[in-house]
């Protein structure tokens, strides 16, 4: 009887150990060394938007090794990995691939030393200053976990490595190349984004609008150049531009409903070559942010109207106003999907670690998949060790923001939390009927 009891206890312990090993957090912690090595590889080998050839190749290789059927060169350097396991929904998990033209200043031993030519032929430093290296590693870790634990889910995984997020064009390029026609159209799509001001272990969630419409506007104010001593013989585009910049401030303050978020920022203004020469033209570059399509349209129309009015007031030629094709629509997290997954995250990482993410006027082209008819949810992943955050607070400083040459995540705990959260979400959304609650 004692031997039988001992045997039963041993079997129970072995079963419990197997169950624990299959949990996402335990799996991530057990595979962390290899994942960190992979993260550092991506960090040290960044590539600019639409130049992500080697990055895409490495991601594709890793997905193939994990058992996914991989298609390369979708919409440029886009990568699609498919893994079907029985009947069930299709879940899309997306990562971005590209890096930024930023010279890294973190001082890390694995910091990027890469330089490359941008589209204009300029020699620039290249850095993963927006966390896409962590995003890719998180996707690969989640992909490996789900491939190794197929007994826990049913359906189809559609893993997407997307180029050119920083240019706002990658999602559109993949969709235009037939992403949802050549491959199963997902029932849900998830992504995460690093948060440069949140503590590791935290998962930020927000239903509804989370990120903004983003538009870049280039404006040429035309004038009539001449000698600075004879302004009456000229039409000074710099004076017109100065009036126009002030006029812009009234769009948000006096034309947009106060409860509708909006930003109009003049980020660049250039004109002239010498003290006593009035130039023929002045160039301005604007970034324009909003949430609703109506406000987006209102802002762009008001900018054009005020540019023309400023020029007309000086009898100047009509200005040239160009809205860049690199704009992105606002990201709207599906409210039902967010509501379903918040309890899942609370069980996976602790209720105290699931926080309400703040709305941001930043942009993300993950929004295009939502506009294509797929319920989407982008969660925020805390990436800064609490002691680092406390150090910044002690000196009354803000931590380096995304796109800063000084930003870096604390990779190990960030990866554990990210893989745990995304894997738990996938297991819930693809739960076999017999396991659904």
Q: Is 218 among the catalytic positions?
A: no
Q: Hey, is 121 helix, strand or coil?
A: coil
Q: Which residue has the tokens 């935290």?
A: 202
| Residue from 133, 165, 215, 334 carrying the catalytic annotation | 165
Q: What are phi and psi of 245, to 5 degrees?
A: -60, -40
Task: Judge contact between 120 and 101, C-beta under 8 A.
Answer: no
Distance of CA 88 to the CA centre of its chain: 28
**Of 208, 237, 211, which Cα lies nearest the Cα of 224?**
237
3-state DSSP assignment of residue 362: coil
Name the catalytic one among 47, 52, 62, 98.
Answer: 98
Tracing tokens 């949430």 back to the chain, one arrives at: 291
What's the sign of the alpha-carbon dihedral 295, 189, 344, 27?
negative
* Torsion, Cα of 307, 312, 315, 318 (10° steps): 50
Parallel, antiparallel or unpaired: strands 376-384 and 262-270? unpaired
341: tokens are 């997954």
- For 389, the 3-state DSSP assignment is helix
Q: How far is CA 343 from CA 96, 198, 205, 278, 429, in A?
A: 26, 20, 11, 63, 12
Token output for 139? 């996707």
Instruction: For residue 165, indicate whether it is catalytic.
Output: yes
Tokens of 412: 């190990």
Q: Please count the residues of the chain.
A: 437
CA 119 to chain centre: 21
Query: What does the DSSP 8-state code read for residue 185?
Result: P
Query: Distance between CA atoms of 324 and 338, rounded to whole angstroms?
Result: 32
What is the layout of strands, in order, in the sheet containing 78-85? 69-74, 78-85, 155-162, 90-96, 188-199, 376-384, 203-205, 354-356
Neighbour-count burial for 7-19, b at 16+ CB within 10 Å, e otherwise: eeeeeeeeeeeee
Location of structure tokens 């978020």? 261
CB of 160 closer than 8 Å to CB of 435: no
Catalytic residues: 98, 165
């Amino acid at each position: 009887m004692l031997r039988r009891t001992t045997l039963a206890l041993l079997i129970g312990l072995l079963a419990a150990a197997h169950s624990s090993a299959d949990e996402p957090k335990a799996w991530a912690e057990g595979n962390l060394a290899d994942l960190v090595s992979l993260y550092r590889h991506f960090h040290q080998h960044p590539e600019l938007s639409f130049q992500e050839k080697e990055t895409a190749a490495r991601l594709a290789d890793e997905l193939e090794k994990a058992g996914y059927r991989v298609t390369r060169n979708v919409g440029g350097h886009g990568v699609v990995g498919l893994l079907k396991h029985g009947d069930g929904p299709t879940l899309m998990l997306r990562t971005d691939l590209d890096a930024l033209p930023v010279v890294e200043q973190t001082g890390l031993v694995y910091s990027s030393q890469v330089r490359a030519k941008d589209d204009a032929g300029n020699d620039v430093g290249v850095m993963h200053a927006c966390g896409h290296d962590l995003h890719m590693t998180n996707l690969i870790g989640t992909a490996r976990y789900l491939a190794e634990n197929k007994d826990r889910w049913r359906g189809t995984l559609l893993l997407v490595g997307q180029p050119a997020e920083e240019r706002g064009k990658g999602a559109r390029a993949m969709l235009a190349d037939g992403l949802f026609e050549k491959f199963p159209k997902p029932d849900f799509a998830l992504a995460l984004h690093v948060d440069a001001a949140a503590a590791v272990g935290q998962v930020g969630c927000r239903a509804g609008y989370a990120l903004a419409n983003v538009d870049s506007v280039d404006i040429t104010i035309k004038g009539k150049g001449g000698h600075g001593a004879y302004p009456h013989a000229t039409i000074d585009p710099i004076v017109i531009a100065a009036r126009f910049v002030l006029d812009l401030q009234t769009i948000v303050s006096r034309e947009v409903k106060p409860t509708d978020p909006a930003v109009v920022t003049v980020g660049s203004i250039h004109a002239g070559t010498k003290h006593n020469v009035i130039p023929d033209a002045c160039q301005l570059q604007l970034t324009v942010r909003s949430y609703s399509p109506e406000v987006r349209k209102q802002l762009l129309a008001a900018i054009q109207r005020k540019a023309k009015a400023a020029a007309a007031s000086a009898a100047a030629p009509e200005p040239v106003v160009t809205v860049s094709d690199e704009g992105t629509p606002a990201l709207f997290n599906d409210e039902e999907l967010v509501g379903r997954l918040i309890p899942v995250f609370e069980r996976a990482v602790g209720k105290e670690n699931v926080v309400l993410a703040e709305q941001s006027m930043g942009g993300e082209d993950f929004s295009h998949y939502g506009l294509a008819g797929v319920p989407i949810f982008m969660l925020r992943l805390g990436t800064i060790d609490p002691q680092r955050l406390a150090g910044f607070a002690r000196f009354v400083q803000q931590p380096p923001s995304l796109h800063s040459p000084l930003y870096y995540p604390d990779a190990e705990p960030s990866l554990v939390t990210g893989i745990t959260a995304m894997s738990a979400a996938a297991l819930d959304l693809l739960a076999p009927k017999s396991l659904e609650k």
